[in-house]
């Protein structure tokens, strides 16, 4: 029994590493801003004094969410459990247990979680026993999800075991955004991929950010927002909001501005951060697999491709970006307005400032955790690091 557990732990620990770590050999290149060189003003970032405070040990944590009117922090375990952390203590019983219906290991498992704005429902993104993506809704009964209330929203076939995406988040208007990777393998050209790549095809949901209204519409489990670029279904799948993405593992809205920040995992050489101004973005093409970051990858760049505002190479052991949030809390004034992110392999937490046209500062915060799979934000705007090895940690002023 102990031997089996050790094997399972090893498989899960390598999970997101395999996912992110893109495809072949290490790439090279310094961290660079849109201007092509190291961002100016990094000393200001270095002057921010913060520390990581352990909050709770959560087994192979992948994502965190909060619920309106509830002080608990809800954290996914990759194996298939949603756990609640209250006042630094992990509840002994899971909020939701999907272990019997989930394939966990590699890049598969319970990957995303979000609560409806009113807190009455929880949404989860996971890979089922066949390795395919499911996005389900559960009704909350008190502080637990009712397993009998399951309502399947999306069922998406995955041709490969990696690049499953998994991010779920709501915008201020109550629309649900869903991250989908390009279907896996390497270069978006593997078995099961459409000619030219899934990410550039509007006939597949892979390599996209999807947007739906999760409320039922007639016989459908959800409705299509009229602002979606292919809402009529004539030139593309109506669920698509943006495309040309490799694996938008984590993205988030800025609570204050409504801007969207997307961290898209790269292939061999470049990890990228994309920025979408509030009220825009529908129909945006971020360039993959014609481009990796700002660099040619295969074929010609698509017309009007949206360039990242920031990219970095794989020097120093970096391999896979993990996106975070813009800090809007009250405990670290020097960090307000900065976007935080990390790299799954390197483990260092970075902050970046963007003035709407250029990156004005970028640098390390002096924080390190092993295998950072996600970030979290509580109801007060304070930020958390979600580590596969160390569980849940809070970013505090030092």
Q: How far is CA 236 from the centre of its chain?
A: 24
Residue 12 has a pLDDT of 52
Alpha-carbon span 269 to 189, nearest angstrom: 17
pLDDT at residue 364 is higher than 70: yes
Give the pLDDT confidence score for residue 135 in this predicted structure: 98
pLDDT above 90: percentage of residues in the chain: 87
Q: Give strand pairing partners of 114.
A: 123
Question: Picking from 37-46, 241-250, 355-364, which range would have the lowest pLDDT averaged per residue?
Answer: 37-46
For 332, residues 6+ apart whose C-beta sits below 8 A from its C-beta are 48, 50, 395, 396, 397
Task: Share the mean pLDDT of the chain.
Answer: 91
Are 54 and 390 contacting, i.e. CB atoms less than 8 angstroms apart? yes
Q: Which pLDDT belongs to residue 6?
A: 34
Q: How far apart are CA 145 and CA 128, in angstroms?
A: 19
Calculate ∠ Cα 52-53-58, nearest 5°. Answer: 105
- How does pLDDT run across 204-233, given as a tens digit for each residue? 999 999 999 999 999 999 999 999 999 999
With a cut of 70, say whether residue 15 has pLDDT above it.
no
| 55-103 pLDDT per residue, tens | 999 999 999 999 999 999 999 999 999 999 999 999 999 999 999 999 9
Q: What is the pLDDT of residue 46?
A: 79
Least confident of 29-43, 75-89, 298-312, 335-349: 29-43
The residue behind tokens 């640098």 is: 363
Beta carbons of 290 and 302 less than 8 angstroms apart: yes
* Structural domains in the chain (count): 1
256: closest CA among 324, 321, 329? 329
The answer to whether 349 touches 385, Cβ cutoff 8 Å, is: yes
Kindly report, residue by residue over 182-201, the tens digit of the pLDDT: 999 999 998 899 999 999 99
pLDDT of 366 reads 96
- Enter the pTM of the model: 0.92
For residue 37, the model assigns a pLDDT of: 38
Place of tokens 């009712």: 146
Residues in Cβ contact with 343 at an 8 Å cutoff, skipping those fewer than 6 apart: 271, 312, 318, 319, 320, 321, 322, 372
Here the tokens at position 241 are: 């909001």
Provide the pLDDT confidence category of residue 9 given band limits of 50, 70 and 90. Answer: very low
Banded pLDDT at 18 (limits 50, 70, 90): very low
CB-based contact 161:184 (threshold 8 Å): yes
Q: What would the two tokens of residue 204 be? A: 């597949």
Count CB neighbours of 226 within 10 A: 9
Q: Residue 141: how many CB atoms within 10 A of its CB?
A: 12
DSSP string, 15-82: HHHHHHS-SSS------EETTSSPPTTHHHHHT--EEEEEEE--TTEEEEEE-TT---EEEEETTTEE
pLDDT of 16: 57
Question: CA 10, CA 182: separation in Å to the nearest integer?
Answer: 26
Q: Where residue 131 falls among pLDDT bands split at 50, 70, 90?
A: very high
Sign of CA dihedral 200, 202, 203, 205: positive
CATH number, position 311: 2.120.10.30
| Residue 48 confidence (pLDDT) above 60 | yes
Give ∠ CA 73-74-75 in degrees, rounded to 5.
115
Q: What is the three-class DSSP state of 284?
A: coil
Residue whose structure tokens are 């996912």: 19
User: Which tens digits make up the pLDDT trace of 104-128?
Assistant: 999 999 999 999 999 999 999 999 9
Lowest mean pLDDT among 35-49, 123-137, 282-296: 35-49
Name the residue range of residue 38's domain: 2-397
Confidence class for position 3, pLDDT limits 50, 70, 90 = very low
Range scoring the smallest mean pLDDT among 21-35, 147-161, 166-180, 193-207: 21-35
């Amino acid at each position: 029994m102990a031997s089996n557990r050790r094997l399972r732990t090893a498989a899960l620990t390598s999970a997101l590493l395999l996912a992110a770590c893109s495809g072949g050999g290490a790439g090279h290149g310094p961290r660079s801003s849109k201007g092509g060189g190291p961002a100016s003003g990094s000393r200001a970032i270095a002057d921010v004094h913060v520390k990581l405070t352990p909050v709770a040990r959560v087994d192979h944590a992948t994502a965190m969410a909060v619920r309106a009117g509830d002080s608990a922090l809800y954290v996914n375990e990759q194996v298939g459990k949603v756990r609640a952390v209250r006042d630094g203590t992990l509840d002994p019983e899971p909020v939701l247990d999907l272990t019997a219906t989930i394939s966990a290991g590699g890049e598969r498992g319970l990957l995303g979680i979000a609560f409806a704005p009113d807190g009455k429902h929880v949404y989860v993104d996971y890979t089922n026993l066949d390795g395919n993506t499911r996005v389900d809704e559960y009704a909350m009964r008190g502080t637990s999800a009712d397993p009998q209330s399951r309502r399947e929203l999306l069922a998406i076939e995955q041709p490969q075991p990696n690049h499953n995406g998994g991010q779920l988040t709501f915008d201020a208007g109550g629309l649900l955004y869903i991250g989908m990777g390009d279907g896996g393998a390497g270069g978006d050209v593997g078995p099961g991929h459409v000619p030219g790549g899934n990410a550039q095809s509007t006939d597949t949901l892979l390599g996209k950010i999807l947007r739906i209204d999760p409320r039922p519409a007639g016989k459908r489990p959800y409705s299509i927002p009229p602002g979606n670029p292919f809402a009529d279904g004539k030139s593309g799948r109506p669920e698509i909001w943006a495309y040309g993405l490799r694996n938008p593992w984590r993205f988030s809205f800025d609570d204050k501005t409504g801007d969207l920040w997307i961290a898209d995992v790269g292939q061999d050489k470049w990890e990228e951060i994309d920025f979408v101004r509030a009220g825009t973005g529908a129909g945006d093409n971020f360039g993959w697999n014609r481009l990796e970051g700002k660099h040619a990858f295969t074929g010609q760049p698509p017309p009007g491709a949206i360039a990242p505002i920031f990219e970095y190479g794989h020097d120093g052991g970096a391999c896979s970006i993990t996106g975070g949030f813009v800090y809007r809390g009250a405990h670290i004034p020097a960090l307000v307005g900065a976007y935080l992110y990390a790299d799954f392999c390197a483990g260092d937490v970075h902050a970046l400032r963007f003035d709407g046209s250029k990156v004005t500062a970028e640098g390390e915060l002096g924080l390190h955790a092993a295998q950072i799979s996600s970030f979290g934000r509580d109801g007060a705007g304070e930020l958390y690091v979600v580590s596969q090895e160390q569980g849940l940690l809070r970013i505090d002023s030092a």
